[in-house]
């Protein structure tokens, strides 16, 4: 079916079948990222220090906006942490926090989501941990960036904000 020959009444079906990722992949990726969000919230102590508390997780990228296309898409999870006291502090502790997040992600993936694989590309964004979720048949993939962030506006503001969706539990994470 060609887009130019598609009648207006069939455009929704055309987009769903030809342009959007398969529902099976999207649901698996959504479940995986929801479980990861829960693991980030529940992580327990680091040796010699208290683990940073996750204040809020905000989703972005084409998956977060619902504009993902078949083949590949991206998702950003901005993770507001209580351990940062300023932007200067965030920059100073960025490598430490990203290292902890990678260790947590590798540990969490010991029980992988069936039908998905996870790998780490070369890290090209200094302030983010990047990984890729791929369907087993390699037809669909999602590049994910975990971005630790300083909550400049304060914890109470984020609870009432309109800047993004909350990832409180695996049930309320949606794409």
Contacts within 8 Å (CB) and 24+ apart, 94-98: 94/126, 94/127, 94/148, 97/52, 97/148, 98/127, 98/128, 98/129, 98/146, 98/148
Residue spans per domain, the chain: 23-149
Question: What predicted TM-score, i.e. pTM, was given to this entire model?
Answer: 0.73
Per-residue pLDDT at 1: 54
Residues of the chain under the 50 pLDDT cut: 44-48, 157-158, 160-175
Q: What pLDDT score does 38 carry?
A: 84
Please give the pLDDT value at position 48.
Answer: 44
User: Which tokens sit at 161?
Assistant: 């904000």
pLDDT in the model for residue 154: 67
CATH architecture, domain 23-149: 2-Layer Sandwich (3.30)
Give the pLDDT of residue 40: 81
């Amino acid at each position: 079916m060609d887009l130019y020959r598609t009648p207006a009444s069939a455009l929704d079906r055309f987009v769903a079948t030809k342009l959007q990722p398969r529902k099976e992949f999207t649901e698996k990726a959504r479940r995986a990222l929801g479980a990861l969000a829960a693991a980030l919230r529940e992580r327990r102590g680091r040796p010699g220090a208290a683990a940073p508390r996750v204040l809020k997780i905000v989703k972005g990228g084409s998956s977060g906006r619902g504009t993902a296309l078949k083949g590949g898409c991206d998702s950003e999870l901005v993770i507001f942490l209580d351990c940062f006291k300023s932007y200067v502090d965030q920059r100073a502790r960025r490598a430490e926090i990203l290292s902890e997040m990678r260790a947590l992600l590798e540990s969490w993936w010991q029980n992988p989501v069936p039908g998905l694989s996870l790998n780490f590309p070369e890290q090209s964004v200094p302030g983010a941990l990047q990984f890729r979720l791929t369907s087993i048949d390699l037809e669909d993939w999602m590049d994910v960036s975990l971005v630790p962030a300083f909550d400049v506006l304060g914890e109470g503001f984020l609870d009432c904000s309109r800047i993004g969706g909350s990832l409180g539990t695996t049930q309320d994470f949606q794409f």
